[in-house]
A = this chain, B = another copy of it.
């Protein structure tokens, strides 16, 4: 197997990006227009074209009139990109990853490193956020108490 996008090109695989996207067409009939993909992914058509221009997408098929026709495989890739974007990975890094995918199997180790580093970033970010939660909760309970005190004062 040559890992390219996520997990083959089959039917929906459970771990999906933002909007629900169970309405895929069977392989062979999978030629989505840009606006269909926009609806499916929550990205704008502009953004989809822009992703392509900066090298974040593989070459997208075209209709005989030059319009883009996305495949299920492209959708898988976009789902992965969506996940990476959620991690806060800069677009430039995603482009590097896409380049490595295009370059073939010999970039496996580099891809591994990139993902590993991203994973560590995510873990650190989660810890950071949990730290902020603690602060927020302290202040929230302060205001909740203060609110109750004011209320009972008004009712006196």
Contact = CB atoms under 8 A, between A and B. Distances in A.
For this chain, the copies found in one complex come to 2
A3 B108 contact: no
B136 A118 contact: yes
A140 B119 contact: yes
A92 interface: no
Contacts of A123: 133
B146 A108 contact: yes
22 contacts: A3-B142, A6-B139, A15-B131, A15-B135, A80-B135, A83-B132, A83-B135, A83-B136, A86-B128, A86-B131, A87-B136, A105-B146, A108-B150, A109-B143, A109-B147, A112-B143, A115-B139, A115-B140, A119-B133, A126-B129, A126-B130, A126-B133
